[in-house]
Structure 1
């Protein structure tokens, strides 16, 4: 090949390379695959008051710092398609607190107060599940506590527990609240007086382990939203319950002066319900006056695996799968409560 032809060939390939370079410059640069991970939404993002609380979960996990805290099996956020909700979930059998044989995934207020000092707790919730196993004769079966005032002096009794309960096969359940007497003397005679909000009070039970009362006509269904306000002001507890499609209910209870300080004051509900376990105590005349209290909120499961024949009020004989939490969750042996709003603060003068 002569020098002239070699030069021509070189110029030809040089021109092709130059044109290819121009073409590649005209093409848009390939976008880098910059995948971003969606940030976790914590319960404290949904209900900002979490710095006021500590928590005990159904497996015994405890924490005093709930800002940016979650537990995927017990305490986390779920979205129902439109709204974020804080989920409290707990099995029938797990690790319990010092003062109870029932499991809970429940907030405990860090601040303590006396009835005269007062305090206020609100919550907007829906109960998504209660245990489907239990004994219909036992008042505590198929129930979960969604808010309470807990005593921290003396007997450490509870002047308020707000319950939701639904019998298997029923569409509607009941919301009711209990007042536990602050027993005079030892605490072996204590009992709860129960008041219905919508549906039944605690004393309505089945006639056999698997025979249920009629479904309450004015009850509230699983997944149905409701709100409560607990307002303790100058020793008086004011309760308000609201839910769309239901009558608003209000109640008042004196925490400084007992209605149950004499044997003749014991209501018939108590004489009937507690007869089998012999509890017929009376209350201190000044009730909970001067004793430290705090609020609790979440899912305090009332269903357990204890033998009903030993206590037909509180021992529900539920299935617990020997404490295997995964099996309990898979077979309906748990309680689950969702909250979308809640506040805590000082008590206020009632309207």
Structure 2
């Protein structure tokens, strides 16, 4: 009943019909009233098999778990705000940049690379969008911890690209994301959010459990490529080369240079097909979806005391074989 009730309450304000480009929406729908955004009821977190979630990611659970993966599917897995859109765009360009160059600006990234588990009232669920994909391979994204991944991805031995971001920058990005995303729980102030992150009371659960769980899976699943956000920032071209090796792709040097240029942060931030500006439940007056894309912004948010507390907690929870950089 929770899902039905939420649909009735929230379906009218979450989106302006189906998610299309901003131009399409302006032609077809009345704009969302920004004055009413403060009154939108945000979801509450729930404990879902030991992981903090919201109904937007559990309502369609049975259908998501029964998703039928194909052998050539590529799953992009991340903790929220760890470089999902960045890697999604890179893969989309590697596979379809030459054959369908117009899709990079005409079709929103969330339609090209569906968010598998999302189910928001009055728009197609991520699972339905994934089923409708006509591309080969299908590119699909998820924020699910490894234990929640539909079994067909393992049965089909699908290639999986996991992207991890250092915890300090990840928490800062997640904080600003929750401030502007009305289908996320109310973030509260920074100090409250900081403590929630340490306690693992975040949508999609503990950052530590997420990155450690996927790292452990990498040791037994050869078709899992584990990437780091910091490496992408440091040398995007190098990381694209590694991706190509993993995927068995051999684009020309010129093509790789072109892709590297197109996925620079400022270019993606200006592109309406990648910056999520067509999503009505994200309030860009609070913060853009793509904010800074830097390594080390945590220094502008952490107090000295918070940093000391974080470092102490980090030592207790991290897999010692998994190493992150908090500056480059």
Instruction: Give the structure-1-normalised TM-score.
Output: 0.28
More helix by share: 2
More strand by share: 1
Between structure 1 and structure 2, the one with the greater Rg is: 1
